[in-house]
Structure 1
Amino acid sequence: GSILEKLRICSTPRLLQFLQDIGTIKKDPKLVVTDMRFGSIPVRLYQPKAASCKARRDSYHSLCSFLSRETDSVVLSVGYRKLPDYHHPVITQDCLNASIHFLKTLQTYGVDPSRVVMCGESVGGGAAAVVTQALLNRPNLPQLRAQVLICPPLQAINFFLPSFQQHQNVPFLTKDIMMLGVCKYLAIDRSWEDAILKGAGIPPDAWEKYKKWLSSENIPKRFRTQGLQPEFPGPFNEAAYLETRHVLDIENAPLLADDKVIAQLPEAFLVSYENDILRDDTLLYKKRLEDQGVPVTWCHVEDGFHGCILLFDKKPFCFPSSLRAINAVVSYINGIW
């Protein structure tokens, strides 16, 4: 990506988008796959062909075919508008609008309203967390049965967390790629990247309010190693705050939701990877949910790395961690009934 950018062939975000989009779509004889639109939002619906004696549940997940087949579920995949052409709030708004439309029409797709699961991986996991919180304001819609969040980004505030310092050079999500994504997603000029990393745009009173949820002290000791940099944040810079203050919006940091919001959330299945720069976002959210009495099932993949679940069927590049992660998700969904 850096080489192509220097040659002025294409930008790194454009290359990442291309890599996400390539690949052969394999037809599964056991599934019916339908492309449609909810208004202007493209969605893809995965439905098992075999007749079922009960209404099937639904889950949102990038590995839709596998999940639909292995969990006997109707799966809706939202084709939200992506980086680098679109940024906040378009991405989460597309997911929210598609989810609302689908929840209003569950009977059309044979979905039991009491068995809907919200699911997402990486950026999709962050969007799933935001949408799950936003749906609490829609009491007229069916309540979600559970949320499944796989290595989600849940804040762009504290970059001094142990996992960020320990794994900033681990593929597929390095510090450089992550910060590029943060700036693009939040439409912040990259000249402010260093200020974001140091927390210079976080007012002292805001950090005093949120450190009870975002501090490294909330990470279990076994994930903290000696030699890490001092606790965040750096000296406050008002200009940096004015340029980056939307990192404190709940829509960009579901970790900052009020206790009363967190307490109403459905039970959660959280997947974290040891060698992932985002590992500690999941650990912080786990603590927030548990502190408010929300049931949490946690799967920590010791040899996992960001995005490894996407390789579960990509032989010979499939890792044991890939299979452990996807099988854990399937097992959880099948087991919550």
Structure 2
Amino acid sequence: MKPFFAATLLLSVAAAYYVYLPLPNTICEPWKLMILDAVFRSFMHMGDLAHDLGLSHHIHVINYFVTKVEVKGPQSSNTVRVTDTSFAGVPARVFEPTTQVKEHHLKRGVVYFHGGGWAMGSGRMRSYDLLCRNMAEELDAVIVSVDYCLAPEAHFPQQYHDALKAATFFLRPEVLVQYSVDPKRVAISGDSAGGNLAAAVVQQMAADNRTATKFKVQALIYPVLQALDFNTPSYQQNGNIPILYRPVMARFWLEYLNGSYSLVPLLLTNNHTALDLTKVPETVRARVDWMHLLQPAFRKDYRRVSPAHGSAQVVEELPALLDVRAAPLLAEDEVLRAVPPAYIMTCEHDVLRDDGLMYAQRLEEAGVAVTRDHYEDGFHGCMVFSSWPAKFSVGTRSMWNYIQWLKENL
């Protein structure tokens, strides 16, 4: 029995070592987050191993596990009818409230884009399914959860084009009539990479005079909005905080833009925006100038990382780093002035915190009404963790606050 106990002890110690992470005491339910992160890291390690052995792309492995564990079929309930369809060839899941209302009653509408680094996830996952059901019931709204194409099969601008096509299709008068949606009460929304797509699409559609129906509001949940500065205060502060690590975000960007992972070190050192490079104009640099765009409470004592010398290789190979369709934070003021009022959620323990805060500041400076919703105990992805077994109190709070804002402003 002694060898058994010894092996058990060693395995327990190894498991504890793998799971444990030193986390700030202000983060929500740290031990639960450690366990959740350990599961995610396991999927990623298995994906990397399969990739290195030439068995499968690492993203395919991760999505396989996500599909097996999370994705569910379109199950209607007494209060919400759920159907899988497509808008302009883009798969989508539609959630419609079934509550009996007076004849000719028009509902709200929300177009939603899921997160996952433009490479993972689905609007058919349990977490998004629950979110959209709650939205449909509470808002008396038709929710369109869009399943845009994913890397590695698709790269920018394909995800953007899918998002734009689906959103444009839903706003067609005959489609709004089909779903009994009020054309004056439609929102666009998304989290993380989905927030990126929502921001990019709403910028394009706000400036497009050919589109008669416009989105009334935009709601962006911890959006990723730029790839010029991987050393903002939030990147420096939260680079090792789950569930989105700083190098992982750089890899997501490279996968989205079809770049080589060998460029990760250059991105992380801001080599692509070194001071001697002219590929990034000063006017563009100013749009990610966190010394101006962030309040002192978020800047803290962090310093800029601006190498004096760099290589133009990154921007030359990835010109989309400067494309506002990929990086909406880089949009000109004139474009921002045309977009609808915004709700922007950020989390203190998230590398993307400052992307959202800088965008909120730029929108406000452009004259756009912005509601900032910041969670001191929040972490990246928390809003979709609001059900068992990955239920966090900050997830439940943030989800209902987000829905309440839509209820009051849409």
**Fold match by TM threshold 0.5:** yes
Question: 1:306 maps to what in 2?
Answer: 380
Question: 2:316 maps to what in 1?
Answer: 242
Going from structure 1 to structure 2, the CA distance change for 1:234 and 1:184 (only over 3 Å counts) comes to farther
Quote the offset at 1:328 in angstroms.
Answer: 1.0
Quote the offset at 1:243 in angstroms.
Answer: 1.1
Aligned-partner SS, 2:372: strand
Question: 1:213 maps to what in 2?
Answer: 287
Q: Does structure 1 retain, via aligned residues, the 8 Å contact 2:92–2:144?
A: yes
TM-score (normalizing by structure 2): 0.77
In structure 2, distance between residues paired with 1:234 and 1:200: 9
Indicate the structure (1 or 2) with the bigger Cα radius of gyration: 2
1:42 paired to 2:42: no
The CA deviation string for residues 244-289 of structure 1, in whole angstroms up to 9 with x for no partner, is 2220011111111111110011000110011011000000000010
Tell me whether 205-214 or 270-279 shows the greater mean CA deviation: 205-214
Gaps of 5+ in 1: none
Question: 1:260 maps to what in 2?
Answer: 334
Going from structure 1 to structure 2, the CA distance change for 1:20 and 1:207 (only over 3 Å counts) comes to farther
In structure 2, distance between residues paired with 1:276 and 1:19: 24
Tell me whether 44-53 or 271-280 shows the greater mean CA deviation: 44-53
Going from structure 1 to structure 2, the CA distance change for 1:43 and 1:309 (only over 3 Å counts) comes to same
In structure 1, distance between residues paired with 2:224 and 2:250: 12
Tell me whether 233-242 or 109-118 shows the greater mean CA deviation: 233-242
Q: Does structure 2 retain, via aligned residues, the 8 Å contact 1:95–1:127?
A: yes
Quote the offset at 1:229 in angstroms.
Answer: 4.8
1:64 pairs, out of 132, 146, 155, with: 132
1:156 pairs, out of 211, 227, 236, with: 227
1:13 paired to 2:59: yes
Q: Does structure 1 retain, via aligned residues, the 8 Å contact 2:363–2:370?
A: yes
Q: Does structure 1 retain, via aligned residues, the 8 Å contact 2:344–2:360?
A: yes
TM-score (normalizing by structure 1): 0.93
In structure 1, distance between residues paired with 2:144 and 2:46: 36
**What is the alpha-carbon root mean square deviation over aligned residues?**
1.8
Aligned-partner SS, 2:143: strand
In structure 2, distance between residues paired with 1:79 and 1:205: 34
In structure 1, distance between residues paired with 2:307 and 2:139: 44
Going from structure 1 to structure 2, the CA distance change for 1:137 and 1:207 (only over 3 Å counts) comes to closer
Tell me whether 197-206 or 109-118 shows the greater mean CA deviation: 197-206
Counterpart code for 2:408:
G
**Equivalent residues in 2 for 1:170-319, closer than 5 Å:** 170-202=241-273, 203-204=277-278, 206-217=280-291, 218-226=293-301, 228-233=302-307, 235-313=309-387, 315-319=388-392
How many aligned residue pairs are there? 335
